Amino acid sequence: ADMFANEEGGPEPDWVITEREQFSDFRDLNKDGKMDKEEIQHWILPQDYDHALAEARHLVYESDVDKDQKLTKDEILDNWNMFVGSQATNYGEDLTRNHDEL
């Protein structure tokens, strides 16, 4: 209700329609209209999803200004707030260590 108050007879926003489809197609695996513990676990920690790889790709995509698939020291420093907030860098702790590859 905080994000969308459904008024009787009113149209639903596109994002609500998309979320309903996602729920019925991918989240509610046993099709009972609600998510049980196993379905929530599958949603939050899918077996076929590599979180570390996804985070690394996200950092490169967002920071690689020249799109050469390599990060320079300047590209990292220009986006330091993204790296400090990333689990991939141990929330910034790994950035304080000496790295030859940079």
Tens digits of residue pLDDT in 42-97? 888 888 878 788 888 988 999 999 999 999 999 999 988 887 777 666 766 666 67
Over residues 21-43, the mean pLDDT reads 93
Q: Count other C-beta atoms under 10 Å from residue 72's C-beta.
A: 14
> Does 32 fall in a domain?
yes
What's residue 99's pLDDT? 64
Give the residue numbers spanning the domain of 21. 14-44
Place of tokens 């990333």: 86
Contacts of residue 39, Cβ cutoff 8 Å, sequence gap at least 6: 27, 28, 29, 30
pTM value is 0.44
- 1 inside domain: no
Note whether residue 60 is domain-resident: yes
Residue 92's pLDDT is 65
